[in-house]
Amino acid sequence: MRPILFGLLAVLLGGLLILSRCRYRQPVEPSRAQTIAGIPVTEEFIPEGNAGRPGIKREIKWVVIHETANHSEGADAQRHSEYIQKKSVESTLSWHYTVDDHQIYHHLPDDEVGWHAGDKLTAGGGNQCGIGVEICVNDDGDYAQAVDNAAKLTAYLLDYYGLGIENIKQHHDFMEKNCPQIMRDTGGWEAFLQKVEGYRAG
C-alpha cells in the first residue's frame, strides 16, 4: 500500500506544480491584476481627456525600460503616480507603470499610447507600440529590489502579450537619452535581461 500512496502523492504534487506554472504562464489581464509575482499593483489611470492620455489604441510590440532619474527621498511609485496625475493634465508626458522596491503603480491601459519614448508617433516606435516601465531610483529606496520587481513585471507582460526577450527595449533605443542611466552606466542591462528570462522560466 505504501508505494501506491507515495506514487499518488507524487502525481498530486506534480499536478499542483504544473497548475502553478500554468497560472504564471497565463496571467490575468494586467489592468485587472491586484498583484504581479507577489508585488502589489495599484491601478490609478490618468483620466481620459488629459493631454498625457491621448486614448490612441495600438499594437503592443515592446516593453520600454526607463529609470525615473529622481533620487529625492520619498520619490517612490506612489509619488510618481501623484506627479503624473497632475503633470498629464496639460503636458504630453505619460507612461504605463512605475515600479519601486515594494509596489507597482499602473497609470495607463497597456493598449493605449503613452508619451514616454521621445519619438512622437513614429511607426513601430516606443510611444506608438511600447509599454513604458519606469524604475524608481530614490535614495531611500532599494534600487536592486526595484530592478528585480521591474524584471518580474516585464516577464509578466512578455508572457501575457506573447512577446520575446528581444522585445525589451531601452528608452535609449528610441532617442538619444542615457536611459535607463544606472543600468547603462554600470553594465547592468544584460543582467536585467537575464533576470527577466529567469522569471519567465520560473
- Indicate the pairing of strand 39-43 with strand 35-36: antiparallel
How do residues 131-175 score in pLDDT, each as one tens digit?
999 999 999 999 999 999 999 999 999 999 999 999 999 999 999
Q: What pLDDT was estimated at residue 11?
A: 38
| Alpha-carbon span 156 to 70, nearest angstrom | 25
pLDDT classification of 177: cutoffs 50, 70, 90: very high
Mean pLDDT for 21-35 is 69
State the cell numbers at 178: 542615457
Summarize pLDDT for 48-71 with one digit per residue, the tens. Answer: 999 999 999 999 999 999 999 999
Average pLDDT over residues 18-44: 75
- Among residues 120, 71, 127, 62, the alpha carbon closest in space to that of 95 is found at 127
Cβ burial, residue 36 (10 Å; 0-12/13-18/19+): buried
Mean pLDDT, residues 121-129 taken together: 98
pLDDT of the residue at 25:
46
- Per-residue model confidence as pLDDT tens digits over 76-123: 999 999 999 999 999 999 999 999 999 999 999 999 999 999 999 999
Average pLDDT score over residue span 34-47? 97
In this predicted structure, the answer to whether residue 21 has a pLDDT above a threshold of 90 is: no
Taking only Cα atoms into account, the Rg of the chain, rounded to an integer number of angstroms, comes to 19
Helix, strand, or coil (residue 124):
coil
